[in-house]
Amino acid sequence: MSVVTMKQLLEAGVHFGHQTHKWNPKMKKFIFIKRNGIHILDLKQTVDAINEAYQFLKDVASRGEYVLFVGTKKQAVDAVKIAADKAGVFYVNNRWYGGMLTNMKTIRQSIEKMEHFESIVEDGSIASYTKLEALRMKRRHDKIEMGLGGIRTMDRVPGAIFVVDTKQETIAINEAKKLGIPLIGMVDTNCDPDAVDYVIPSNDDAIRAINLIADVMANAVIEGRNIANEGVADENMAEGEVVELTEAPEVKEENKEVE
């Protein structure tokens, strides 16, 4: 059964590509028709692509691997955060700082500065600083939090990355490729489908389209996590049964005379 319907995609405007003169020829196989100077995507292929990406992301999540959602263009900011929060995954929706994946040690140092400020505010020791010092620290904290808040607890590279606009997020994509991290991407008619491993032919500018596909990807993670949790529960239950068997008291039979 498909995780998304053709009707949902049509209502969200997923099929609308860019003007024909802005196209990337590599997207030709995903285009259904030209209409009024606009390329229209073949939604049958989009449905199939979403189902394939869904299954892949579900498998990644079921193994307990991290997942990262990336979308920094203004149309994607809210959708990425909402979907990421729903699935409990990491996200970047403000700006991609170089080295977020390839230089995590330096990124971690910035996050530690942010967390230090939060700790001195919480314990009240911020009062020992001058107002100017405190203001500067807060501004630095807010800037870091805006850029890195969505990955503050990410202590290793993710097992997969979902990207809203592959043309916009070239730095993130290049870093992921260097590390061999699989990529799922919403790929519009003006983009290069070779940039990602799982191509979802889609309008990547319409907010409704981004909302829909990001939400479906979030559902994939949730389903995968549920599978992982069920597996842990089954293991715990099996271990409990083993303990009960090994700890069961020995039953001694009394010798009875046959009357």
Give the pLDDT band of residue 230 (cuts 50, 70, 90). Answer: confident
Count: domains in the chain: 2
Say if residue 74 is in the same domain as residue 134.
no
Map tokens 């009875």 to a residue. Answer: 256
| Residue 231 domain-assigned (yes or no) | yes
201: nearest Cα among 216, 186, 183: 186
Q: What region, left, alpha or beta, does residue 64 occupy, with left being phi > 0 and alpha being psi -120 to 50 degrees?
A: left
The stretch 168-177 carries a mean pLDDT of: 98
| Residue 29 domain-assigned (yes or no) | yes
Tokens of residue 24, six digits? 């990337």
Say if residue 62 is in the same domain as residue 130.
no
Tokens of residue 202, six digits? 């889609």
- Kindly report each contact of residues 123-126 with a partner whose C-beta sits within 8 Å and lies 24 or more positions away, as own/partner: none
| Residue 91 domain-assigned (yes or no) | yes
Q: What is the pTM of this model?
A: 0.87
Say if residue 39 is in the same domain as residue 166.
yes
Strand partners for 19: 38
Distance CA 251, CA 17 (A): 75
Give 1-36 pLDDT, tens digit per residue.
899 999 999 999 999 999 999 999 999 999 999 999
Sequence-ordered list of residues with C-beta below 8 angstroms from that of 55, at least 6 positions apart, any chain: 220
Asked whether the predicted pLDDT for residue 256 surpasses 80, the reply is no
| Residue 71 domain-assigned (yes or no) | yes
Say if residue 67 is in the same domain as residue 171.
yes
CA distances from 187 to 38, 46, 48, 76, 190 (A): 16, 10, 14, 14, 8
Say if residue 111 is in the same domain as residue 90.
no
Collapsed DSSP state (helix, strand, coil) of residue 116? helix
> Which domain covers residue 133, as residue numbers?
102-156
CA angle (44 as vertex; 39, 47 as ends), nearest 5: 110
Map tokens 């549920």 to a residue. Answer: 226
Distance CA 69, CA 92 (A): 6
Percent of the chain clearing pLDDT 90 (strictly above): 87
